[in-house]
């Protein structure tokens, strides 16, 4: 009989745990947040913006899905899925401290024959090296006595449940037997699953998806600036340039969130470590182009301010939309938030409005709330449009 434990009940882990419970498998969810565990066990969804999750938590919370802060509550489980955050520091190096703590805790409760799967997106080689070491050191077992695989999450916040049910997902083991064991278990709750050669390949697949998006967004951003320089409507050109063999992405304020601006650095840093700098030139350039887009939009915004018949410092500027993506209540690496902060540093009168945040929440983030109708200039960061009061 399969019993699963999901370590990390965040925006990726909780929908996965609920999906597993819905398949009829008992799940022990582990999280450091006691209040979140309490809510789940009472059938209350701590992530209300996730479509369809309310119903599953109400149905399974405290029943097929038990949430706890104690790893020993999962000692009867034979499948352990770790999906905890991996942050990067100011130099873009991954900080494995949260992940190491989770895996060492798992290592203390796993038994011979158990399967452990990492779902957090990580630099290639991570699962087969440091994750394996952490588990072996804590458990006293060797690979082969337990099984280890990687299956990168491929969800999209707000649509996680449908992604888990429909979107292609890959899984690969540190060795062949691990891959086969993990695949057989995952097939019980992931319909569209593909077994790949090994964990390293599974890790690489997820990372290069992010690289593809980052590079293509950088291309769109650069083409937008060139089109403006030569007097071409970028959006008209894009409309007719796109066809079966060409897909120009939409431009943006840059790239935000936990994924796309982070993953290219995994490969860039690996090539730097090997002193193969020339092998990641495009990835580094794309990162620079996208991060520099805030300078482009700030310049355009200041030019709009100069059209208003007021001293520059008195022009009221409203940045509409500060999340990294519309409809997602997250500001991690948000380029719009960076624009707010940069304008404030310049001494301009800037505030923000976002449907996802209350005025009080904005104030707690150190941002002045401002209604669009009260502003002289509104910059809509999702549609990249300026609205200037006549």
Domain boundaries, the chain: 3-197, 206-291, 293-388
43 alpha-carbon distance from chain centroid:
26
Per-residue pLDDT at 325 exceeds 90: no
pLDDT tops 90 at residue 319:
yes
The closest alpha carbon to 364, from 328, 331, 333, 334, belongs to: 331
**What DSSP assignment string belongs to 233-254?**
-HHHHHHHH-BTTB-PPPP-S-
Instruction: Kindly indicate the confidence band of residue 390, based on its pLDDT and cuts at 50, 70 and 90.
Output: low
Q: Are 153 and 119 in contact (CB under 8 A)?
A: yes
Euclidean distance between CA atoms 187 and 213, whole angstroms:
28
Domain 3-197 grouped into CATH 3.40.50.720: yes
- Residue tagged 């582990």 (tokens): 30
pLDDT tens per residue across span 84-130: 999 988 899 999 999 999 999 999 999 999 999 999 999 999 999 99
Residues 219-265 have pLDDT tens digits of 999 999 999 999 999 999 999 999 999 999 999 999 998 899 999 99
pTM of the entire predicted model: 0.92
Where would I find the beta strands (DSSP E) of the chain? 3-7, 26-30, 65-68, 79-82, 87-88, 94-95, 115-118, 147-150, 169-173, 193-195, 316-320, 349-353, 377-380, 385-388
pLDDT of residue 258: 85
* Model confidence band, residue 83 (pLDDT cutoffs 50, 70, 90): very high
3-state secondary structure of 133: helix
Catalytic residue at 259?
yes
Strand pairing partners for 195?
A: 171
Known active-site residue 225:
no
pLDDT of 158 strictly over 90 = no
Proportion of the chain above pLDDT 70, given as a percent: 100
| Rounded CA Rg of the chain | 23
pLDDT, tens only, 338-376: 999 999 999 999 999 999 999 999 999 999 999 999 999
Mean pLDDT (the chain, rounded) = 95
Q: Which of 21-25, 192-196, 209-213, 305-309 has the lowest mean pLDDT?
A: 305-309
Q: Which of 26, 169, 206, 316 is catalytic?
A: 206
Nearest to 262 by CA among 219, 211, 222: 211
Residues 293-303 pLDDT 10s:
999 999 999 99
CA atoms within 13 A of residue 171's CA, in its CB half-sphere: 27
Q: Residue 175's pLDDT band (boundaries 50, 70, 90)?
A: very high
Helix-strand-coil split of the chain, %, nearest 5: 45, 15, 40
* Fold matches, 3-197 and 293-388: yes
Q: Nearest 5 degrees, angle CA 274-CA 277-CA 283?
A: 115
Per-residue pLDDT band for 141 (boundaries 50, 70, 90) equals very high
What average pLDDT does the segment 122-150 reach? Answer: 98
The dotted CATH code for 293-388 is 3.40.50.720
Report d(CA 285, CA 251) in Å as an integer.
16
CATH no. for 206-291: 1.10.1040.10
Run of H or E including 223: helix 199-230
Which of 259, 305, 316, 318 is catalytic? The answer is 259
Q: What is the pLDDT of residue 159?
A: 82
């Amino acid at each position: 009989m399969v019993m699963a434990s999901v370590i990390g009940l965040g925006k990726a882990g909780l929908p996965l745990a609920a999906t597993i419970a819905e398949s009829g498998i008992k799940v022990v969810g582990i999280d450091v947040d006691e209040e979140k565990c309490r809510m789940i066990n009472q059938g209350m969804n701590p992530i209300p913006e996730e479509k369809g999750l309310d119903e599953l938590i109400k149905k399974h919370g405290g029943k097929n899905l038990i949430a706890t802060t104690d790893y020993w509550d999962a000692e009867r489980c034979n499948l352990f899925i770790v999906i905890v955050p991996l942050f990067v520091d100011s130099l873009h190096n991954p900080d494995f401290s949260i992940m190491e703590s989770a895996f060492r805790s798992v290592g203390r409760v796993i038994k011979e024959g158990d399967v452990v799967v990492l779902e957090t997106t990580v630099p290639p080689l991570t699962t087969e090296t440091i994750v394996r070491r952490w588990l072996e050191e804590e458990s006293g077992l060797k690979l082969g006595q337990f099984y280890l695989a990687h299956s990168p999450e491929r969800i999209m916040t707000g649509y996680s449940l449908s992604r888990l049910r429909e979107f292609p997902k890959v899984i690969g083991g540190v060795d062949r037997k691990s891959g086969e064991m993990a695949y057989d278990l995952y097939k019980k709750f992931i319909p569209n699953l593909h077994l790949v050669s090994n964990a390293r390949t599974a890790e690489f697949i997820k990372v290069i998806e992010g690289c593809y998006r980052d590079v293509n967004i950088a291309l769109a951003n650069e083409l937008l600036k060139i089109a403006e320089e030569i007097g071409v409507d970028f959006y008209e050109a894009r409309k007719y340039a796109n066809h079966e063999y060409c897909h120009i992405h939409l431009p943006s304020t840059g790239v935000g969130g936990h994924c796309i601006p982070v993953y290219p650095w995994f490969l860039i840093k690996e090539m730097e470590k090997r002193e193969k700098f020339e092998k990641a030139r495009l990835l580094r350039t794309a990162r620079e182009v996208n991060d520099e887009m805030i300078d482009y939009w700030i310049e355009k915004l200041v030019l709009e301010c100069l059209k208003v018949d007021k001293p520059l410092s008195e022009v009221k500027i409203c940045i509409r939309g500060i999340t990294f993506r519309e409809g997602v209540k997250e500001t991690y690496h948000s380029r719009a938030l960076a624009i707010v902060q940069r304008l404030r540093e310049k001494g301009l009168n800037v505030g923000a409005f976002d449907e996802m945040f209350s005025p009080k929440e904005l104030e707690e983030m150190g941002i002045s709330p401002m209604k669009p109708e009260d502003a002289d200039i509104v910059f809509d960061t999702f549609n990249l449009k300026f609205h200037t009061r006549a």
